[in-house]
């Protein structure tokens, strides 16, 4: 199976070659120190709303930001595998799972037991995804012959369903509270309180079938004030557009807001100010928020790296 011009191509004659390619890529990941799974399994210190807010306010250094981006790029997560066998796309999904799990570990301070639960849940969900992926390929319509080999073609959709986190994370089965048993304090950090409040009040927001738990990142959290409405400690303001996906799993605070474009200034002037705003906001992120931002906006890795490596960055 190879990807070319937006099409997924399955080559029945190349099963052995595909398996070999996947093994070679797996070996490459293991042999590169920048791509190994170096995280410590389970911190043993579950996060609370207080420690979560404190970590955000502590911020990150330029070195920390570039290290996370480098790790993401070294794993090859900033781009899809391109022309590759089906096994490579499945391997890519496993790398994405690992990145997502590392984000949850860092943000929630998962214990060993919680990590084990989440790993098992992600593995089971991935097996279902792999089955759907292979079924889509097997049921592909259309074929052609190139250099004496027969190819079956399917749409690009099955690839995106497998390796685009914006698609598969919409399923609430991937929500942190469904992957493992979170403590009460850990659950309080998540979007679950707002989601439960919306469901109890029959919020019209839930009438849109496209709405998912992942869409709640359009709001910001305020853990420091008394609840003022039915949605508890959630503000009515929108999260920053450019980097808002960083709050998809780990809510952004009101104070992490991103200023919009100022009226009456030129495109060039705004672009210069944009770099300043992006730099400031990224430095003010929780590391787990930056990890989620990269997972959901992989193209942003190059842009953020460019800003931080520029003179004065």
Half-sphere exposure of 227 (CA within 13 A, CB side): 8
**Which residues, 6 or more positions from 205, have their beta carbon under 8 angstroms from its beta carbon?**
198, 211
User: Which tokens in the block code for residue 221?
Assistant: 């959290």
Q: Which pLDDT score, from 0 to 100, does residue 122 have?
A: 98
**Closest C-alpha to 209, from 237, 260, 170:** 170
pLDDT value of position 269: 54
Let me know: does 83 contact 25? Beta carbons within 8 Å: no
Q: Please, are residues 85 and 2 in contact by the beta-carbon 8 Å criterion?
A: yes
Residue with tokens 């009438």: 207
Segment 193-207, tens digit of pLDDT: 888 877 777 665 555
Residues forming a β-bridge with 7: 4
Query: 285 near 56, Cβ under 8 Å?
Result: yes
pLDDT for residue 25: 41
CA distance to 4, 69, 106, 256, 312, per residue, from 244 (Å): 31, 17, 19, 10, 24
Q: Please enumerate in sequence order all residues whose Cβ is within 8 A of that of 243, keeping only pairs 6 or more positions apart, or say none.
A: 258, 278, 281, 282, 285, 293, 300
Q: pLDDT per residue over 121-144, tens digit each?
A: 999 999 999 999 988 877 766 666
pLDDT tens for the chain, 313 residues long, are 443 334 444 444 333 343 344 334 433 333 343 333 444 455 579 999 999 999 999 999 999 999 999 999 999 999 887 767 788 889 999 999 999 999 999 999 999 999 999 999 999 999 999 999 988 877 766 666 667 765 655 567 888 899 999 999 999 999 999 999 999 999 999 988 888 877 777 665 555 544 577 776 555 666 654 433 333 344 434 445 557 788 889 988 877 765 544 445 455 555 666 788 888 889 999 999 999 999 999 988 998 999 999 887 7
How high is the pLDDT of residue 191? 85
The tens digit of pLDDT for each residue in 184-241 reads: 999 999 988 888 877 777 665 555 544 577 776 555 666 654 433 333 344 434 445 5
Could you give the dihedral angle defined by the CA atoms of residues 211, 287, 190 and 90, in that order, rounded to the nearest 10 degrees?
A: 50
Q: Residue 136: its pLDDT value, please? A: 83
Residue 157 Ramachandran class (φ > 0 left, ψ -120 to 50 alpha, else beta): alpha
């Amino acid at each position: 199976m190879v990807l070319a011009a937006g099409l997924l191509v399955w080559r029945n004659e190349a099963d052995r070659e595909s398996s070999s390619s996947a093994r070679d890529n797996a070996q490459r990941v293991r042999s590169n120190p920048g791509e190994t799974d170096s995280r410590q399994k389970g911190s043993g210190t579950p996060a609370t709303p207080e420690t979560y807010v404190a970590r955000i306010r502590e911020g990150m250094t330029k070195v920390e930001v570039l290290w996370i981006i480098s790790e993401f790029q070294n794993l090859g997560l900033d781009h899809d595998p391109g022309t590759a066998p089906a096994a490579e796309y499945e391997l890519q999904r496993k790398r994405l799972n690992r990145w997502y799990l590392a984000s949850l570990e860092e943000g929630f301070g998962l214990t060993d037991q919680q990590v084990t639960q989440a790993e098992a849940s992600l593995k089971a969900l991935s097996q279902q995804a792999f089955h759907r992926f292979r079924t889509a390929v097997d049921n592909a319509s259309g074929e052609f012959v190139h250099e004496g080999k027969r190819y079956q073609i399917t749409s690009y959709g099955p690839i995106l369903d497998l390796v685009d986190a914006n698609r598969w994370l919409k399923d609430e089965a991937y929500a942190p509270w469904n992957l493992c048993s979170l403590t009460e304090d850990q659950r309080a950090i998540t979007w679950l309180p707002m989601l439960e409040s919306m469901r109890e009040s029959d919020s019209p927001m839930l009438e849109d079938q496209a709405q998912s738990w992942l869409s709640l990142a359009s709001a910001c959290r305020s853990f420091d004030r008394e609840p003022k409405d039915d949605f508890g400690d959630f503000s009515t303001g929108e999260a920053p557009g450019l980097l808002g996906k960083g709050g998809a799993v780990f809510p952004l605070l009101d104070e992490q807001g991103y200023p919009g474009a100022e009226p009456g200034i030129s495109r060039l002037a705004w672009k210069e100010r944009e770099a300043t705003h992006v730099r400031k906001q990224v430095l003010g992120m929780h590391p787990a928020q930056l990890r989620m931002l990269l997972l959901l906006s992989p193209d942003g890795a190059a842009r953020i790296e460019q800003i931080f490596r520029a003179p004065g960055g």
